[in-house]
Amino acid sequence: MENPKINIRETTLLSDNHYLLQKVTFDYTTEKGTDTQTREVYDRGNGATVLLYNREYGNVVLIRQFRLPTYLNKNETGMMIEACAGLIEEADPAETVRREAIEETGYHISKVEKAFAAYMSPGAVTEILHCFVAEYTKDMKLSEGGGLATEHENIQILEMPFKQALEMVKSGEISDAKTIMLLQYAQINKLLEI
């Protein structure tokens, strides 16, 4: 199939209460003709995430926090176990994960390695998420972490054996997409095998 030619006809702002919800009408043209479609698109910017791991201890650092959208969709407690992550503000993705690692886990990491980038929900959300891995050591724990009190983040830090994290993916206790992808990336690339 040839790529369609796209022409954006109209963009209507439905909400800019915190992020942007827009209604977009566009022409989708192929050799068969033109079809006009309308879609709602949620734009909350782009994000970056990092899996902290240590080969020697065989551990990864994850975080646990309440996520309202999951609570509204069958996650009974609303609590989610995730890799540390945040929205890219002014900084580049690597800077973002360094900042978020400090804010959320208290680990002051320096070297980060890009793993991949992924559109998280391409039918509705514009966001691309830049995914990193980084080695941490105990002496990098220089602050408490836990997220920004001003943002009511209430983040719990979980340092656990890599094996246990993989079992939690299997059991469904870890059900966050970026976290599953990063744990499997670490497994495929043997990051935690000495």
Residues interacting with ligand GDD, by CB under 6 A?
18, 47, 49, 85-87, 100, 120, 127, 129, 151, 153, 178
CB of 153 to Mg ion, least distance (A): 7
**153 a known binding residue?**
yes
**56 a known binding residue?**
no
CB-CB contact of 165 with 181 (8 Å): no
Q: Does residue number 93 form part of the binding site for Mg ion (CB under 5 A)?
A: no
Whose CB is nearest to ligand GDD?
A: 47
- Three-class DSSP category at 59: strand
CB of 34 to ligand GDD, least distance (A): 34
Q: What distance in Å separates the CA atoms of residue 139 and residue 38, rounded to the nearest whole number?
A: 52
* Cα 108 off chain centre by: 19
Q: Which of 61, 80, 81, 86 binds Mg ion (CB under 5 A)?
A: 86
Q: Which of 140, 118, 119 is nearest to 43 (CA)?
A: 119
**10 a known binding residue?**
no
CB of 135 to Mg ion, least distance (A): 21
* Cα 194 off chain centre by: 27
**100 a known binding residue?**
yes
CB of 6 to Mg ion, least distance (A): 33
Instruction: List the binding residues for Mg(2+).
Output: 85, 100, 104, 153
Instruction: List the binding residues.
Output: 85, 100, 104, 153
